[in-house]
Amino acid sequence: MRFPDSFWWGASTSAYQVEGAVDADGRVPSIWDTFGATPGRIQNGDTGARAADHYHRYAEDVAAMAALGLSAYRFSVAWPRLANLDFYDRLVDALLARDIRPVATLYHFDLPQSLEDAGGWANRDTAYRFADFAEAVAARIGDRVAMWNTLNEPWCTAFLGYGTGVHAPGRRDDPFRAAHHLLLAHGLAVPVLRARSAAPVAIALNGGTVRPVSADPADVAAARRIDALLNRIFFDPVLRGRYPDDLEADSDWSFVRDGDLAAIGAPLDALGVNYYQPDLVGAADPPAPDPGNPYPTGGTVRHHTPPGPVTDMGWPIDPTGLRDMLLRVTEDYGPVPLYVTENGAAFPDRIEDGRVHDDARIAYLQGHLAAVHEAITKGADIRGYFVWSLLDNFEWAYGYGKRFGLLHVDYATLARTPKDSALWYRDVIRRGGLSV
C-alpha cells in the first residue's frame, strides 16, 4: 500500500502536554495550571508543570524525529508564552535543519488564565484577542511554518471545558456560546495569518463516525442528533458558512452576529481531521439523565460500546470509522485537501529488556493507515498523517496515567525510549507505505 511521494509523515504534540517549564521565560498561567491546582480535577494530582520537558529537550526530540524519518511535526504554540516566543524560533529552526516541516497549531486548550478571568470562550472578546495572538505568532515564525492549524478540537474546549467541566476551565454553562466564539476566533485569524505568512491555513476538527445501533427510525434520529452535536456543528460553519438547522432546538443562538458566519466560512487551504473512535448510539426510552454525558440531549440518547477490542482509554478500535469519516467529508463538503492531524492509541506500555513491545499500537496504526490508504483510493485528497503522539505526555484530566507516545518517557528521569511502534513507523516511512 504505497502512499503518494508527497505524503507528509508526521507526529503531533501540544504545548501544555509536553513542554513543561511553566514558569520559564515570562510564561503566564493558563487555565490548565489553575485546573490542575484544584484538588480532584486531575487523576493522581498530576499537573503539566514538567510534562515531558520538551521545552528544554526539544533538540533531543527533534533528533529523534529525524531518526524516525518524520517529514512533518505538528506542535502547538502556547498562548501563555506570548511575551516570549523565542522557544518557537529555536524549535522551528531545529526542525528545518533536519528537513522536517513545522506545522503550528495556535490553540490547543491552553487559554491564558487572565482571559478566562475575563469570561474565557464565553466572552466574544476572546476571539479578537486570539486574532491578535495569531498575528504576533505569524509575525515571528510565519516565514518558516509549513502549515497552520488555527484551533485544535474546538469540540473538546466547548463541550468538555464549558459543558461537563471535565476539562479546564471546568465550567458548566453554555457550550454553544463557547463553540461559536471559538469558531469566530478561527475565522478572524485566517486573514491575519494569510497577511503575514504564505503557509496554508487549516483547522483541526475531531471527527467521529456516528452510527445508529439499529435501523429503527428512533435510533437513526438519535445518531443524526449526535452527529450534529459532534461533527456538523463545526464542519458546517467552517465548510458551508452556516450552522445545521437541526441544532436550533439545542440552544439559544442569539449570540451569533451578522457577518460571523461569513468570517467563519472563509475558504480554507486544507482541513485537519483528528480521529480516535466511532460512536454507536440509539434512542433512550425512557430518557435517562446522564450527568457525565457531554451531549446536551436531555438523556434522550444512549451511547453504546461496540463489540471488539478497546484501547487503554476504553475507546473502541475501528479503522473503518476513519475511512468513513474521510470519505464523508469529501462527499458532503466537496474536494478539500485533508490531513489526518491526530490518530493514535493509549496502551499500558512497559519497558522490558530495554524496549517497549507495543504490538497493540502497531496493529492500531497499521489498521488506521490502511483505512487512510483505502480512502485515498476512493477519491479522498489526503495529503498527510500525524500520529498522536510523538511522546508520552500529560493526558489532560488523566494526568500521566495514559501513554500515547511513539517514544516512551520515563517520568522520573525524562529518558526517551523509542517503542517498537516508533521503529515500525520509521520503516513505513522509509517504504512510503504499508507492507501487506
Query: Would you call 231 helix, strand, or coil by DSSP?
Result: helix
Q: Catalytic one among 342, 352, 374, 395? A: 342
Q: How many angstroms separate the CA atoms of 206 and 235, rounded? A: 10
**Contacts of residue 224, Cβ cutoff 8 Å, sequence gap at least 6:** 210, 246
Residues 146 and 346: their CA atoms lie apart, in Å, by 28
Q: 153 catalytic, yes or no?
A: yes
The DSSP result for 78-145, as a single string, is -GGGTT--HHHHHHHHHHHHTT-EEEEEEESS--BHHHHHTTGGGSTHHHHHHHHHHHHHHHHHTTT-
124 near 255, Cβ under 8 Å? yes
Q: How crowded is residue 23: how many other Cβ atoms within 10 Å of its Cβ?
A: 11
**φ, ψ at 344 (rounded to 5°):** 180, -175
Considering the candidates 135, 153, 248, 331, report the single residue annotated as catalytic: 153
- Residue 226: enclosing H or E segment and its boundaries? helix 217-227
User: What Cα–Cα distance (Å) separates residue 39 from each residue in 32, 34, 128, 188, 416?
Assistant: 13, 10, 32, 36, 30
Give 83's Cβ-side CA count (13 Å radius): 9
Q: Write the DSSP assignment of 299-351 as a string of letters.
A: T-EEEEPPSS-B-TT--B--HHHHHHHHHHHHHHH-S--EEEEEE-------E
Which residue in 71, 77, 93 sits closest to 10, CA to CA?
Answer: 71
Alpha-carbon distance of 199 to 185, in angstroms, equals: 19
Output the nine-digit C-alpha cell for 211. Answer: 452510527
**Angle between helix 54-68 and 420-431 (nearest 10):** 50
Sign of CA dihedral 293, 297, 300, 304: negative
CB 410, CB 417: distance < 8 Å:
yes
- Estimate to the nearest angstrom the gap between the alpha carbon of 327 and the chain centroid: 19
| CA–CA distance, 213 with 56 (Å, rounded to integer) | 48
Residues taking part in catalysis: 153, 342
